[in-house]
Amino acid sequence: MVNEVFMKMVNKKVEEAYEKLKLHPKELPPRCADYIEGVRTMSAELNSYHRDEKHLHNGWRVSQRQMTAHGYDGNFYALLAKELSEYVDIPLFMAMVFDYIVNDDPSQMKWGVVGAKPPLANNKSTHSLTLVVYGGIKEGWWTLDDVEIPPHHFDELDLEIGGPSVWILGDDYEMLKGDE
């Protein structure tokens, strides 16, 4: 079900983007560095509040733990991919298919590209593959007629309904014309 010729074209584009990323200077882009500094400053402020008020309550520590785990959230990595796509001159969808590491030590502030996320899972297309394939159509690398990939692999979470519309409209709303 996988068109080997087409997949070689896709792999070539991913490899080209990877090579561009590897050659780019590794200093964190400005908005990402600012984000990290903001998180670091806010964390220090919350720690200070906790230290001053821990004899009264532990709300500051609990709130801080709920807001973040070790590392950064998806928004940070999306921002990193966006900035790298601009600096390296690759499409954003291509920058989104790579895994990155970040050294946020104040004396370092570096990033690295680890590799591409897998294109297939259980013989089905992953989000990464579909990003590259359909993004490649927009870029003119191939046409929709060229696309021959396995069916998309959906995580169970992809099928859940959520977000503001559920909270605002409730469970029994009618689809608006054009939204179905």
Model pLDDT for residues 48-63, shown as the tens digit of each residue: 877 887 776 666 665 5
The pLDDT assigned to 47 comes to 80
pLDDT for residue 117 is more than 60: yes
CB atoms within 10 A of CB 46: 15
The pLDDT assigned to 91 comes to 93
* CB distance 28 to 110 below 8 Å: yes
Residue 123 DSSP one-character state: T
The pLDDT assigned to 151 comes to 86
The pLDDT assigned to 71 comes to 65
Q: Above pLDDT 70, what percent of the chain?
A: 76
Residue 164 DSSP one-character state: H
Tokens of 170: 């409730």
Q: Is 113 helix (H, G, I), strand (E, B) or coil?
A: strand
| pLDDT grade for 126, boundaries at 50, 70 and 90 | confident
The pLDDT assigned to 87 comes to 93
| pLDDT grade for 167, boundaries at 50, 70 and 90 | very low
Interstrand relation of 120-121 and 110-116 (parallel, antiparallel or unpaired): unpaired
What residue type is assigned to position 77 of the chain? Y
The model's pTM is 0.69
Task: Please state the domain extents for the chain.
Answer: 4-169
The pLDDT assigned to 1 comes to 64
The pLDDT assigned to 19 comes to 94
Q: Is 166 helix (H, G, I), strand (E, B) or coil?
A: helix
The rounded distance, in Å, linking the Cα atoms of 131 and 150 is: 14
